[in-house]
Amino acid sequence: MANPRPQILLLLAVLASLLVVAPASASGKAHSAQSKRRPATVRTDLGSARSLGKADRCAKRIPAMRAKRMNRWQRKRTMRRLRSNCQASKSTAPATPKYWGAWVGDQLTGEEAPWDMGAVDKFEQMAGKQMSLIHFSQPFADCSSSCSFYDFPSDSMERIRKHGSIPFFSWGSQATPASLNQPNFQLADVIDGSHDAYIRKFAE
């Protein structure tokens, strides 16, 4: 019996050549059809795109037909114009307003804001702009002798509003003098309703 191996190898070689030729011709037809539908563009590869600046990324595409007709000097001039257009469009975009502020301690005048609004004035002079937000805080109660609950800080809120800023208030379920041991002001006490009457009055 003759060895069938040469015939099998020849058949495999023919099939492989058909597989290589067929997709290539099909992709060539698809590419030619696509090029008729829309003009090709010159694009940077991934490595080049990463190294481009913001203006370059904005102006990285140039129509291929125009690029072919340009000499080196014309291409450089076109890219320079596109970059300047990108920068102009970026600079004319409206700026998003941002609120900013601080908790101003007693390091400037010896008294914290908002009890001393002079501290706010001094801080704003140093910063060169007015604060949108003025942050301050207050605990639930003063237990230095016998516990008395603090009222809502209406005067402090009003001083901040008259200054033209927004009060940013932190309210702590604790007592002064501050300590890690707060047996009457634990979160469990707030959750079980021990301070509901005070919280309701404060909110009103």
Domain boundaries, the chain: 40-93, 101-203
Bond from prior residue into 114 cis (ω within 30 degrees of 0): yes
**Is a pLDDT exceeding 80 seen at residue 35?**
no
Mean pLDDT of 145-156: 92
> Using a CB cutoff of 8 Å and minimum separation of 24, what contacts does 177-180 make?
177/143, 177/144, 178/139
Residue with tokens 């801080």: 123
Nearest to 115 by CA among 102, 105, 100: 105
How would CATH label the architecture of 101-203?
A: Alpha-Beta Barrel (3.20)
| Phi, psi at 138, each rounded to 5° | -160, 135
Mean pLDDT of 114-140: 95
- % of the chain beyond a pLDDT of 90: 44
**Is a pLDDT exceeding 50 seen at residue 26?**
no
- Whole-model pTM: value is 0.52
Nearest to 56 by CA among 84, 77, 92, 88: 84
Contact 141, 185 (CB under 8 A): yes
pLDDT of res. 125: 94
- Beta bridge pairs of residue 141: 149, 175
Contact 202, 140 (CB under 8 A): no
pLDDT of res. 123: 96
Q: β-pairing, 148-149 with 133-142? A: antiparallel
DSSP for residue 20: H
Mean pLDDT of 104-115: 94
